[in-house]
Structure 1
Amino acid sequence: MAIEKKHGKGRLDKYYYLAKEKGYRSRAAFKLVQLNKKYGFLQKSRCLIDLCAAPGGWLQVAAETMPIKSLIIGVDLAPIKPVPKTITFQGDITTDKTRAIIRGHLKTWKADTVIHDGAPNVGTAWVQDAFSQNELVLHSLRLACDFLGPGGNFVTKVFRSKDSAKLEWTFKQLFDKVEQTKPPSSRNVSAETFYVCRGFKAPKNLDPRFLDPQYAFAEVKDAVPNNEAKVFNPEVKKRKREGYDEGDWTQYHEVPVSEFIQTTDPIAILGGMNKLTFNQSGNGDIALATIDKLPETTEEVRICCNDLKVLGKREFRLLLKWRLQKATDAEKKDAEAADDEEAAEVESMDEEMKLQEELQR
């Protein structure tokens, strides 16, 4: 069977061409532009560290947005061509050597913002790639804790996976405000999301194990998923020592919305699935097609169904209310059909009784 490969032309969207027009080194520059437009952290920063900065698109955005005479430092394993108004060097963010070089450039400065858009060399093992990227996030966070000043910002990319909740819990221990977002320039097919962490608490003493992947992502066997907590209280993330489910290699599951409407346990679906799909199979699904065309199936409902893992309490309540309405409508139709059938039976019985009476006469 032939394997369909993803060609480079499939990645050449409007942001690719916009980046060429603007002179940005990568389309990823627009992710930082859009994140800053929403949260406005670059204009307030005079010292910034860009981790995993190659090829330099985020450095370009920072240099043109931050105040004049700001200190901007970029580091990556790959070489970075010089970017005006910035200091760049080649190094591994997981090593003490890189930490020492950054400290030497900062001198007495404390960073206002640390940004990170790094990713491992992506292969075919999605679960391993997600875990490796989240390890990079922890290493970046460790450097941020070393160099950020009180009230500072940390902006990072995260791959959605089981470790995302653990990372979010970690962020919330170190920052006053933590928000998850996905800028428009981030591809819909990508599992990446971004966390904007503001108000660094600057703890004086931090246990080294707190940011060690070996402890932060430690696996707990026989853990029972609490789907109710995921749906009714998704904003409260308790630290869960659990790894990836054995045999669940994709970490991604979807079901038709018709199954969600008809199920007796909608909470299990909302808490355990990634997506409710409206796509019909080759034979077609009449119930699915009907649900898809209903006026109650609004654009907001469709967006919520598209990625259940990023929903909050309000969105989950919206989907449950929508399901209840559809399920109630279906029950009414079944009841009406049953009433019509019963009325037909009564009418036929009445006719039979009249016939018996006529015969007795």
Structure 2
Amino acid sequence: MALQKKHAKGRLDKWYKLAKEKGYRARAAFKLIQLNRKYGFLERSKVLLDLCAAPGSWCQVAAETMPTNSLIVGVDLAPIKPIAKVITFQSDITTEKCRATIRQHLKTWKADTVLHDGAPNVGTAWVQDSFNQAELALQSMKLATEFLIEGGTFVTKVFRSKEYNKLLWVFNQLFTKVEATKPPSSRNVSAEIFVVARGFKAPKHLDPRFLDPKFVFAETVEAAPNNEAKVFNPEVKKQELPASEFIETTDPIAVLSTYNKLSFEQARNGDVALAALNRMPETTEEIRTCCADLRVLGRKDFKMLLKWRLKAREAFGMPTKNTKMPEVSEEVAEVESMDDELKIQEELQALKDKDSAKRKRERRRENEMKQKDIVRMQLHMVAPMVSLLFSVVFGPHILTPNFRILVWNKLDL
């Protein structure tokens, strides 16, 4: 039996193959291409700083897209192979040595754009991984505040977690416009999203605690739970719920925000509804994958689960919409629909407009012919009695512009 090649979470997809064909070092190059296609920040940049740049695919895209003679500096803890028109070095972005090396390369310049696509070593502890990613993004933001020009752009990768909203708050204090997006080349099962912050305010004085993870990510007491917000802010503890209960519940948003997994597993004498739900054709493999881990889903995936729930409720004979209160029967005067009358009025108005346009065209043609006659008479190309003869014989109304042209051609005047 032939051995099948294993790969992690579908990384060897079409973007991986395209990256190999185009000569990019990683499939992540298309993420920057799609982000730049949406926001267009590379074409306007002369100096760019790429943090956590290894293996260098974002530097390759920047070198191809940015104007000629641009300055591109890439730094990473791992070594980066040389790239044409790009300065790379190996260092830790949290150290003072890295800052000194960047100052040495930039000299008196300021970066128009700072990129950050770094991620920590991801393991099985999701809570710790998401916190490490948020802390790394905050450290890159701290470095960007030192080298970014006023009005510059900062692009970073973050994970959807409870630290995400706190990061956005920091970005909104330092930039005029902050948007979060997920490019098509990013895997659907990945929890990563990209934040594009534009219009750096460049404050002269900045409190060090403002970019300190201990203060930024400090726990705060929430006034009241917001289930809709918790859909994109996963809980710390893993909680599992049978998929049949998700179908039966009247508050699906609360389920999606509270639980981490919708299970299709059942005992030998288990739930009949769960068994029927498991055999439904609407329960596709994509639905099962989404139910396996609700923490990494995006808005599109949650909408797909809600639509699947409505189809299942309809198949089970459950109400899919809120029933309205019965109205008190009372005598109501019947009013005929206005659709036919409006349609007739629209047709009449269209005919009037068409007739008016036709009359305008005829008047314009007559005026043009009159002007041509005047010019011909001024140039002594036509005897004055010819026009008078035509008017007497044919009449002023019968002599249309087309007929007049035909007569002129026949007489060869």
TM-score between the two structures when normalised by the length of structure 1? 0.71
Give the drift of 1:255: 5.4
Structure 2, gaps ≥5 residues long: 324-413
Question: What are the superposed Cα offsets for residues 6-26 of structure 1, whole Å, 9 maximum, x if unpaired?
Answer: 646953222222111111111
Mapped partners of 1:244, 1:269: distance in 2: 12
How far the C-alpha of 1:96 sits from its partner, in A, is 1.5
Which residue in 1 is equivalent to 2:27? Answer: 27
The alignment status of 1:263 with 2:249, answered yes or no, reads: yes
Residue type matched to 1:135 in 2? E
Shift of 1:254: 6.8
Output the CA distance in 1 between the equivalents of 2:180 and 2:115. 14
Q: In structure 1, give the amino acid aligned to 2:226.
A: N
Which residue of the other structure, out of 251, 267, 276, is the alignment partner of 1:286? 276
Structure 1 counterpart of 2:64: 64
Identity of aligned residues (%): 61
The equivalent residue for 1:343 is none
Q: Which residue of 2 aligns with 1:357?
A: none
Which runs of 5 or more structure 1 residues have no equivalent in the other structure? 238-242, 294-298, 336-361
Alpha-carbon displacement from aligned partner over 1:220-279 (angstroms, at most 9, x marks no partner)? 4x75662256289x9xx9xxxxx974xx2x5xx67567544532444423543567x6x8
For the residue of structure 2 that corresponds to 1:112, the secondary structure is strand
Q: Which amino acid aligns with 1:330?
A: M
3-state SS of 1:113 partner: strand
Aligned-pair CA distance for 1:196: 1.2
Corresponding position of 1:160: 160
Structure 1, 51-60 or 188-197: larger mean CA deviation: 188-197
Bigger-Rg structure (1/2): 2
Per-residue CA distance 1:264-303 (angstroms, 9 max, x = gap):
444423543567x6x854675435766948xxxxx9xx9x
Answer yes or no: is the 8 Å Cα contact 1:274–1:309 preserved in 2.
no
CA distance in 2, matches of 1:22, 1:226: 48
Taking the aligned partners of 1:225 and 1:271, their CA distance within structure 2 comes to: 14
Instruction: Spell out, residue by residue over 1:128-175, the C-alpha distance to the aligned partner (whole angstroms, 9 max, x if none).
Output: 222112111000001111111122111111122111111122111211
Larger deviation: 193-202 or 9-18?
Answer: 9-18
| Corresponding position of 2:98 | 98
**Equivalent in the alignment of 1:227:** 226
| Residue in 2 that maps onto 1:128 | 128
- The equivalences for 1:232-251 within 5 A come to 245=236, 248=237
1:43 alignment partner AA: E
C-alpha contact 2:235 2:258 (8 A) present in aligned 1: no
Partner in structure 2 of residue 211 of structure 1: 211
Could you report, residue by residue, the CA deviation over 1:307-344 in whole angstroms, capped at 9, with x for unpaired residues?
A: 797549xx98x969x969968x73499x9xxxxxxxxx
Taking the aligned partners of 1:180 and 1:136, their CA distance within structure 2 comes to 17
Compared CA separation, residues 48 and 271, structure 1 to 2 (3 A): same
Greater displacement, 254-263 / 132-141 = 254-263
**What is the aligned counterpart of 2:258 among 272, 276, 296?**
272
Residue pairs, 1:309-328, within 5 angstroms: 310-311=298-299
Distance 1:281 1:31, change over 3 A: same
CA distance in 1, matches of 2:297, 2:177: 20
3-state SS in 2 of match to 1:193: strand
CA RMSD of aligned residues (A): 3.9
How far apart are 1:78 and its partner, in Å? 1.0
**Alignment check: 8 A CA contact 1:175 1:198 kept:** yes
Higher relative contact order (CA 8 A, sep 6+): 1
In structure 2, distance between residues paired with 1:266 and 1:9: 28
Establish whether residue 87 from structure 1 lines up as the match of residue 87 from structure 2.
yes
SS in structure 2 of the partner of residue 61 of structure 1: helix
Deviations 1:74-130 (A, max 9, x none): 001111111111111111100112112112221221211110011112233232222
> Counterparts in 2 of 1:103-114, with a 5 A limit?
103-114=103-114
In structure 2, the CA distance between the partners of 1:224 and 1:109, relative to structure 1 (3 Å rule), is: same
- SS of 1:268's partner is helix
* TM-score when normalising by structure 2: 0.62
Q: Deviations over 1:32-68 (max 9, x none)?
A: 1111112211111111100000111100000001111
Judge conservation of contact 2:139–2:211 (CA < 8 Å) in 1: yes
**How many Å apart are 1:209 and its aligned residue?**
0.8
Q: Is the 8 A contact 1:273 1:308 kept in 2?
A: no
Residue among 318, 333, 340 paired with 1:330: 318
The equivalent residue for 2:73 is: 73
CA distance in 2 between partners of 1:100 and 1:118 (Å): 20
Report if the CA contact (8 A) 1:116-1:140 is conserved: yes
Aligned residue pair count: 302
Tell me whether 196-205 or 280-289 shows the greater mean CA deviation: 280-289
Cα distance in 2 for partners of 1:176, 1:40 equals 17
Q: Are 1:200 and 2:200 matched, yes or no?
A: yes
Q: Residues 332 and 23 from structure 1, CA distance in 2 versus in 1: closer, same or farther, beyond 3 angstroms?
A: closer
Counterparts of 2:28 and 2:240 in 1: how far apart (Å)? 28
